[in-house]
């Protein structure tokens, strides 16, 4: 698979710049509601840590050592540190190219485009978290959000089911973005999770703007904000599963 990662690199750069601005101006002790137990400083440090962790994997083609220290040093300014890490990550992605070989822990081909998408999506969501924690207006790009929904249904939800050691619901759910392209059907086949990016009727349908659907799936929006069509219990069976 060959994927143009330029949109992901652009999103990474923009969101890192916004997080840098938040780090300069906001109260770093502010609580992050979407990440219980974290304050704004911990959120930004986590994001920068993951950027550096992914960069190591791309550059070295291997899992970073367990004892690798990617945390900011005592002399690092958080607003600069978050941008430096994102810049190194973008450079690694662009240098390797989308079809470059790498290592990652996800059930997809071991190619760099997987990291580009994953890191752009994680950074966008945590940028939203940071702005929200700081009391600032926050929004998510619809096209990027559609990618986030697709990624979650493709590889996030199977991980959720595996970690919870639970079979998928017996019902089917159609997920439909109303503002950009993006439709998926999830269902169970003999106790095995199945997903296809298709327009096909399910026992229930979840409809709404891509950003709202993604925020819901990531545990950041109440389901009452979205339109559920069909059997409400069928939709609840899927939406009651933990977020990624």
Determine the Cα–Cα distance for residues 46 and 42; give it in Å rounded to an integer: 6
pLDDT in tens, 181-218: 999 999 999 999 999 999 999 999 999 999 999 999 99
pLDDT on residue 22: 98
Which residues, other chains included, contact 235 with Cβ-Cβ below 8 Å and sequence gap of 6+? 173, 204, 205, 206, 223, 228
Structure tokens at 196: 């296809």
Per-position DSSP letters for 184-239, written without gaps between them: EEEEEETTEEEEE-S----SEEEEE-HHHHHHHHTT-S-GGGSEEEE-HHHHHHHH
The pLDDT-based confidence of 146 (bands split at 50, 70, 90) is: very high
Average pLDDT, the chain: 95
Tell me how many degrees the CA angle 219-169-216 measures, rounded to the nearest 5: 15
User: How many C-beta atoms surround the C-beta of residue 122 within 10 A?
Assistant: 20
Determine the Cα–Cα distance for residues 87 and 93; give it in Å rounded to an integer: 10
The pLDDT-based confidence of 4 (bands split at 50, 70, 90) is: confident
The structural domains of the chain, ordered by start, are 6-133 (1.20.120.450), 142-239 (3.30.1050.10)
Q: In angstroms, how far is CA 177 from the centroid of its own chain?
A: 17
Number of H helices and number of E strands within the chain? 8, 5
pTM for the model: 0.95
pLDDT in tens, 51-93: 999 999 999 999 999 888 999 988 889 999 999 999 999 999 9
């Amino acid at each position: 698979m060959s994927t143009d990662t330029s949109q992901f690199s652009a999103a990474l750069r923009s969101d890192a710049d916004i997080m840098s601005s938040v780090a300069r101006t906001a109260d770093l002790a502010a609580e992050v509601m979407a990440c219980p137990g974290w304050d704004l400083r911990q959120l930004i440090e986590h994001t920068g840590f993951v950027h550096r962790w992914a960069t190591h994997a791309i550059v070295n083609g291997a899992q970073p050592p367990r004892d690798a220290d990617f945390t900011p040093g005592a002399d690092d300014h958080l607003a600069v540190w978050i941008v430096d890490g994102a810049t190194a990550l973008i450079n690694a992605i662009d240098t390797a190219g989308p079809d470059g070989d790498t290592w990652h822990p996800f059930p997809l081909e071991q190619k760099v485009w997987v990291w580009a998408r994953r890191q752009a999506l994680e950074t966008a969501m945590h940028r939203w978290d940071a702005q929200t924690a700081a009391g600032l207006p926050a929004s998510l790009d619809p096209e990027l959000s559609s990618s986030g929904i697709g990624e979650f249904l493709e590889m996030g939800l199977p991980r959720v089911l595996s970690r919870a050691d639970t079979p998928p619901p017996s019902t089917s759910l159609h997920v439909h973005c109303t503002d950009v392209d993006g439709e998926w059907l999830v269902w169970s086949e003999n106790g095995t999770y199945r997903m296809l990016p298709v327009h096909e009727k399910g026992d229930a349908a979840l409809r709404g703007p891509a950003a709202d659907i993604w925020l819901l799936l990531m545990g950041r929006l109440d389901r009452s904000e979205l339109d559920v069509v069909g059997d409400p219990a069928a939709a609840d069976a899927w939406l009651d599963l933990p977020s990624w």
